A and B are shown apart, each in its own frame.
Chain A
Amino acid sequence: MNDYTTQVADDFCCDEELVQQVISLTTSPTPSFAYVYDAQTPENTRNMLQCVLARSTSACGGMNIAYAFINCVACFSQRLLFDTTLNTLMKHRSTWNNGFGLWEDGALEAGNWNDSLDGFFRGLNSCYAMLLKGGAADDRRPPVSTKIVLVFERPEKLKETLPGIVMPLARLHEMAKANITTIFLGETEWENITPHAGTLPDPHRITVQTLSKEALMRMITKKFPDTYPETSLSPYNPTLKTLFAHFVETVYNVCSPFTVEPKELAYLVAARWPGFVSPLLEDWKHQNSEELQGPSEESRIRLIKLFMPSLSNAVESLYPRLLSAKEWSNTNTPPNGMRLSRAAAKLPQASTTSSVITDELPELPKISNFILLASFLASHNPAKTDARMFGRNMDDKKRKRKKGGSPRKQGGSAKVSQLLQGPMTFPYDRLIAILGALLLEYDDGARQSLSFSGSILNVESEVFRIQTNALIQDLMSKHLLHRTTAPERFDSMQFKCGITQEQGLALARRLGIPLAELMWDPM
C-alpha cells in the first residue's frame, strides 16, 4: 500500500500524506461527509481522487465502490443534479438508442427519482441495493464493504443555485439510509459555503497544501511530450527535455510573484517555448552532423538571458488574457533565421500589433464624440459649476471663467479630485445641456447660421433630434456610456460616463476642444 501511495503522490505531484488521507476517506465507512479545500489546483486533486477511487473499485482494491463526480456549476437545477448523480453513479449512458433514457433499476419507475429530494434518496437507496446485490453475485467471497462516494466539485455554486440542497447532500448518509460518503471539493473555505453552520454537520476537513516549487515544476515538465522522434526539428524533440526543465524554472522564477497557478504557468510556458527554442533549432538546421544535441551550459545561459525580458512582457499580456497564447507567440517570435550561435545580445522589441488591447477609442460618428465628451464633463464637473463653465455673458462674447487653474481652497477636510473619485452620475437634461453648449462653441456645422440666435436654434434642434437620442442609446450598448437607472425607466434617467481621462483628452484633441479649460478641476 505504501508503494502505491508514493506512486500516486508522484503521479499527481502532491503530498503522500494527502493521498493517505484520501485513501482512508474513501475506504473507511466514516466520516460520511468531508470537505476538501484546495485553492490552487482543484483539477489536479480531482484527478488524484478519481485515480484513487478507480483503483479501489478495481480488483486489487477489492472493494465494492460506486462513485460519481458532479460539477455543481453544470448541474444548475435540482433535476439536473439528480439525473447526473444517478447516471454517473451507475455508469449509465443515455444514448440515442435508449431514447436518452435515465438509469432505472427495472422495479421502480425512474420518473419519481428526479422530481424531489425524497425520490432522489430512494434512487440512491436502490443504487445501493443494486451494488450490494451485484457485489455478492460477482464475487464468490463477500466484499469487504459496499460504498457510494459522491464528489461535488465547485460546491460554492450550490449556495447560489440550489441553497436548499447543501444540507441534504451533507447528510446523505443518514437520509438515504445507505453507506454514502459525500465529499465537497471546493476552492473556497467551508465557511463561505454555509451561512448557518449550526444546521450542518461539521465536515471532516482536508486542506490541500499549496504546491511546492519543485512539485509545480514537475507538474509542468511532465507535460513535455515524448512522442516526437529524436531527429525531428520540432520544439518538442526529446533531446530538449533538460533544457525545458531549466526553462520552466526560469519561467517560475520570473512569474511566481504574479501567479503560482500551474495552469497559468503552463500557459506562459506553452506560449514562450516554441519561440525560445527557435534559435537553437535554427542552429540545428545549419549543423552538418545528424546527431542533434542539446545546448551547452554556456549557450543555455545565453539563451535564457536573451529571453528573460520577454517573459515579464508575456505575463503582462497573457495573464489578463489581453492576447491569447497563439497571438502572443506569433507576434513575439524571434526574427526569422536568428541563430543561437550568432545571436544578438538583445531580442528586437515586438511591435505592438492591432490585436493588442489598448484604451484607444474607435472611430465614432461626430455627434457620438460630442456626446461622449459631454458625458465626461458632466461626470467630472460639479453640477453647480455648469453655468460658469458653459454659460455666456449677456454680450454673448466670452464665457465666464473661474480664476486660476486650481480649485478654491475650502476650510476643513481636503477635497479629493473628482478624477480620482471616479465619475458621478448625472441626469439626461444635464447631458443634453452640456452637449448643446459644446456644439454651440466648437462644432462648425451647428454654427453655420449667421446670427447667434440662429445657431442656438440649430443646436437646440440638433440635441433633441431622434438620431442624437439613438446615438446615446448606441453608446450605451457599446459600454462607453452607462445608464445607472433601470432601463425601463424613461423618466429622470441617470447616466455615468464610461471613458477614462486619457480617452477623454484624446477625444477632445480629435475635436479641437480645449478640455482642460472646460474642466472645473483639471489634474
Chain B
Amino acid sequence: MATKDVSVEPFVYIPYEGPDDEETADASEPSMPTPSDLEDVDLPCGPGVRLDAFERVWEEYNEKLKEVVKEMHAPGVAQAVEEVLDAYTNVSPLLLHTELPVIAISGPDRRGTATICSEIRTSLCSTTAEGDIDEEDAMHVDNSNTPRALISSVGASDCVNLASAMKALIAGFTSNYPIRDEDFAQLRRKGTAGSSLVTYDINLLDAWFAEYKEAAEGQTPPKLVVFINEFEDAEPSVIQDLFYICSLHIPRLPLVFVLALSSPKQPSYLHAVYPRTTLALLQLKRIASSVGSDPLQALLLKVFYDPSYEPPVHLGPATVDFLVEQYTKNSGSIEAIAGLLKLVLLQHFMNPLTAFTVDDFLGEESMEDASQLLSEDTSRPFLRLLVGRLYHPQKSTLLLPKKKRAWPIGGPQDVIETVRGLRRDVLKEARLRRLAFRVFLLVRDFMLRKGFKTASDGKEGIGFLGMMSACLRGGSAAAKEGNLSYLAKMTRKLSKDHLKELLQDLYQLFFNQPRVIREDKADAITPVIAKWMARLDSSGTSSDIAEDLDHTTIGREVGDWLLEFFDELFQAYTETNLWDIWYTGNPVAISELTNPAPRVNVIGALLNPGRYLEHTSSEDHEKQSLPDTSLLFQRYLESGRMLNVHDWYESFAGALEADRSARGSDKPSKETPSRRGRALETTPRRRKGRGRGASPDDPEGSDEEMDDDAWKMEMHVRFLRGVQELDFMGFLKHTKRKAEHVLKTVYEPPEY
C-alpha cells in the first residue's frame, strides 16, 4: 500500500487499487447476452456479415420511415408553403397598416417540427417551372427561374441581442444568394469599415433586395422567408423589436417569418409571452406539426402492417408493445421511436443466427462458398447451434418432414436449403398476417362507422395497438384482443345493405392486393365474395320473407368465414422454426439503456456490492469483502438528518478493526476493544505527531507500534477516500451550520 509514506497531509489523492466496481456493472445486465457468450457459437466472419445485414436493413427502414413521416407532414408543409407564396396578396384594402405574415409551426415534438421546417425549406427552394433543379441552381439568378423564395435562418442563439439577430437575418440573404455572381462580402470590403452600412442595418437588406429585383428583370420577386428555429429559446424582447423593425419595411421587403415552436399549438406560446402590440403587427397563421391523432399508429401501420410493403425484419409482439409503451409513456416523439427501432435492430443482429436474415449465403457469393464456410472447423459451433435449433425445435409442431430429422443428412448445403425454405414460409406467413390484419381493420372500422360498438370499450387507439401485437401472438390472444367472435356476430346480424357494402369493401381490399398475396390467398377469396354479392343481388327479386332469409344466411356464412379466416391467418409467430431470425425479440433491456435509473442503481450497488462485483463471495465472506464505500454508506443510512463526521469515522474504524481481527489470526480477538478505544482516543494527537514528521527517530518505535500507526493511517485514508467518493456521487451536502457535520441527501431508501 502506498499509505506508508503518507506523512504530512491527510488530504491526498489516493488511487484506488482494488477491484473496480463500475466497469463490471454494465456487463451484468441480466437479459442482454454478453459478447463473450455469443463469440462461442459465432461464425468467424459472423460479426461482419451481421453488421452488413444490419446496415442494409436499417437503411431500408430509415428510408421507409422518412417516407412515411414525410407523408404525414405533407398537409402541414403544403399549407405553410401556400401561405408563404400567398403572402401579401389578397390583402384587404380596408386595413390601415400592412401586417407581417408569420407562420408558426407548433408541435409537441421538437425534432418533428424541425423536420417540417426543413421540408418547407426544400419545397420553397425548388422552382415551380422545372421541378427538380438542385438547390444551387435554384438559388442562381442567371437561371431562367427566380426561386419562389429566398431563405434565411436565424437560430435562437443569434437572438441574444438585437444586433446579432438582425445581422443573422440579413446575412442569411445577402451572403447566400449572389447577384450576378458578384460576391457581396467582397463588394462591401471595397469601402472602409466606417463608410458603408453596418451589417445589422435593415437598410442594407433593402438596398440589396432592390438590386436583386433589378437583376431578376421583371420576374415576380421572390419572398424573403426567415426561419427562426427553437423560437421559445429566443429572447422575447429581441424578437419583439425584430418584428417591429421588419414591419416598418414591408411590403417593400416581402418578408415572411416561419417560426419553429416546440410548444404545443394549445395553449399558444406566442399569445402567452408576447404583448398585444406585437401580435397586432403580425398576420399569424398557426399550423400544428403533428397531423392525425396518433402518429405512431399510422407509422406502424404503414411500415409493418402494410401488405404491399415487405419489411426485411418483422417486429415481434414484445417489440410492438415496447414501442407503444415508450411512445405513450415517455417520449411522444416519432424520431425517438425511430432511434429505438434502430437499437432494437442492433440487438436483433447480435444473435449469431441472424447472419441468415437477409442473406442465405452468409455473405458469400454462392451456395458452394457458403457451405464451404459452414463446413470449416471454426464454424462448427455455429452449425451445431443451427442444426440443434432446426431439428430439435422447442415447439411440438414441426414444419420439417419427418425423414429429415436425422443428423447429419445432407451436410451444410442441406441446412442452408432448409433455412431458405423457412424464410419463404415465414415471409409468406407474415404477409398473410398483414393481410388478415387489414381485413380485421376494415371490418372493425366498418362497424364503427356504422355506429356499432366494437366491444373493445377503451379508447379507439388502444384496442387497435393492442391488436397489433396480439395478432402476432396468434390464436386465442388475437381472438380476445380483437374480440373476433363479437365481430363475427355483428357481421351475421348486418342488414342487407350494410352487408352488401361490407362485401364490396372486402372485395376491393382483396382485389387490390399485390400479386404475391393474390397468388397466395386473395385470388381464392375474391370469387367467394363475388358469389355472395351475386346472391345478395339476386335475392332482391324474390318475395320479402325469402329475401330476408337469404341475406341472413349469407350474413351467417360471411361471419363464419371471417372467423375461420382470422383463425387460419393469425398464427403465432413462434410457430415457425427459427423465428428469431426474422422476428425481433424482447427489447426490455434496451429500455434500461435508453432510460436508465442511475440513482437507484448506484444505491443498489452500494447496498449490495456483491451483485455488481465479479468476485462474488460466499455468504460468510460477505461482510469482509464489503468495500469501504459500502461500509460507510450503510452507516450513513442509519444516521439522522445530519451526520457527525467524527462519529462516522469511529463507527467505520470499528468495523475495520473487527474485520481485521477476524481475519488476522496473529492478533488475539480480545485485544480489539481496547485497541479500538485507544486508537480513537489518540487519533488527533497521533495525527499531529505524524504531521511533524518525527516518526523516524521515535524512541518508542517498536515494530508493533509502527504497524499500528500505519494501520491507523490506512484507516484514515480509507475513510477519507470513501467519504470523498460518496461526496462525489452527491450523497453529502456540506453545511456551515454545524461544525463537523454534513447533511444527508438520501433517507431510508426502499429495500433493494
Interface residues of A (CB under 8 A from B): 43, 71, 73-74, 76-77, 79-80, 83-84, 87, 93-97, 99-102, 104, 109-112, 114-115, 219-220, 223-225, 236, 262-264, 266-267, 269-271, 273-274, 319-322, 324-327, 354-355, 357-368, 445, 453, 456-457, 460-462, 464-467, 471, 477-479
Contact in complex: B283, A324 (CB < 8 Å):
yes
Known: A93-B207, A362-B108, A457-B752. A223 touches B96 (CB 8 A): yes
The reply to whether B187 and A74 contact each other, CB–CB distance below 8 Å, is no
How many Å lie between the Cα of A87 and that of B210 in the bound state?
A: 17
Give complex CA distance A479, B266 in Å: 11
* CB within 8 Å for A267 and B95 given contacts A363-B108, A457-B751: yes
CA distance A456 to B751 in the complex (A): 9
Asked if B699 lies at the interface with its beta carbon under 8 angstroms from chain A, I say no
Which residue of chain B lies nearest to A44 when distances are taken between CB atoms in the complex? B96
Asked if B306 is at the interface of the complex by the 8 Å CB criterion, the answer is: no
List of B residues within 8 angstroms of A112 by Cβ: 194
Which residues of B line the A interface, CB within 8 A? 92-97, 99, 108, 110, 162-163, 179, 187-188, 190-198, 200-204, 207-208, 210-211, 232-233, 241, 244-245, 248, 262-269, 271-273, 276, 279-280, 282-286, 288, 325, 327-332, 594-600, 749-752
Partner of A365, one of B188, B279, B280, B328: B328
Interface pairs (20), CB distance under 8 Å: A71-B248, A73-B245, A76-B241, A77-B163, A83-B197, A96-B187, A96-B208, A224-B94, A263-B96, A266-B95, A266-B96, A321-B282, A321-B284, A355-B286, A365-B331, A464-B597, A467-B595, A471-B330, A477-B233, A479-B269
Q: Which of B96, B273, B284 counts the most A-chain CB atoms under 10 A from its CB?
A: B96
In the bound complex, CA of A465 to CA of B326 (Å): 13
Q: Please indicate the chain A residues that have their CB under 8 angstroms from the CB of B329 in the complex.
A: 365-367, 445
Q: Which 9 A-B pairs have the closest CB atoms?
A: A111-B194, A362-B264, A96-B211, A461-B600, A270-B94, A461-B597, A464-B599, A321-B279, A270-B92
Excluding A77-B200, A223-B93, A479-B263, 10 further A-B contacts by CB distance (< 8 Å) are A74-B245, A83-B198, A100-B188, A101-B191, A225-B93, A262-B96, A263-B280, A325-B92, A456-B750, A467-B594
Task: Decide: A99 near B211, CB < 8 A? Known: A321-B284, A478-B264.
Answer: no
Question: Are A101 and B749 in contact, CB atoms less than 8 angstroms apart?
Answer: no
Q: Which residue of A has the minimal Cβ distance to B267?
A: A359
Interchain CA distance A226-B686 in the complex, whole Å: 104
Whether the pair B751, A453 counts as a contact (CB closer than 8 A) is yes
Q: In the complex, A286 Cα to B283 Cα: how many Å?
A: 35
B325 neighbours in A (Cβ, 8 Å): 445
Cβ of B284 and Cβ of A324 under 8 Å apart?
Answer: yes
Asked whether A110 lies within 8 Å of B195 as measured between CB atoms, the reply is: yes
Partner of A95 from B210, B267, B331, B600 at Cβ < 8 Å: B210
B195 touches A460 (CB 8 A): no
- Supposing A73-B244, A270-B95, A364-B108 touch, asked if A453 and B599 sit within 8 A by C-beta, the answer is no
- CB-CB nearest in chain B for A97: B211
- Assuming the contacts A266-B94, A322-B271, A478-B108, asked whether A362 and B266 have C-beta atoms less than 8 A apart, the reply is yes
A99 touches which of B191, B241, B271 (Cβ 8 Å): B191
Contacts of B598 in A (CB 8 A): 464, 466
Q: Is the CB of B263 within 8 A of A477?
A: yes
Q: Tell me, in angstroms, the Cα distance from A60 to B677 when the chains sit together.
A: 111
B269 near A99 (CB under 8 angstroms)? Answer: no
Least CB separation from A366: chain B residue:
B329
Q: Which of A111, A358, A362, A363 has the most CB of B within 10 A?
A: A362
Q: Smallest CB–CB gap between A87 and chain B, Å?
A: 7
Q: Are B201 and A365 in contact (CB under 8 A)?
A: no
Given A87-B203, A111-B193, residue A466 in contact with residue B92 (CB < 8 A): no
Find the A residue at minimum CB distance from B293. A363
What is the distance, in angstroms, from A448's C-beta to the closest C-beta of chain B?
12
Task: Tell me which residues across on chain B come within 8 A of A43, comparing CB atoms.
Answer: 96-97
Within the complex, the shortest CB–CB distance from B46 to chain A, in Å, comes to: 33
A361 touches B94 (CB 8 A): no
Please indicate which of the listed interface residues B202, B208, B329, B331 has the most CB atoms of chain A within 10 Å of its own CB: B329
CB contacts (< 8 Å) of B267 on chain A: these are 357-361
User: In angstroms, how far is the closest chain B Cβ from the Cβ of A423?
Assistant: 15
The residues of B that contact A467 with a CB separation of less than 8 Å are: 330-331, 594-595
Q: Nearest Cβ distance between residue A144 and chain B, in whole angstroms? A: 32
Nearest CB of chain A from residue B747's CB, rounded to whole Å: 11
Task: Specify which chain B residues have a CB less than 8 angstroms from the CB of A466 in the assembled complex.
Answer: 595-598
Shortest Cβ distance from residue B673 to the other chain A in the assembled complex, whole angstroms = 37
A71–B752 alpha-carbon span in the complex (Å): 67
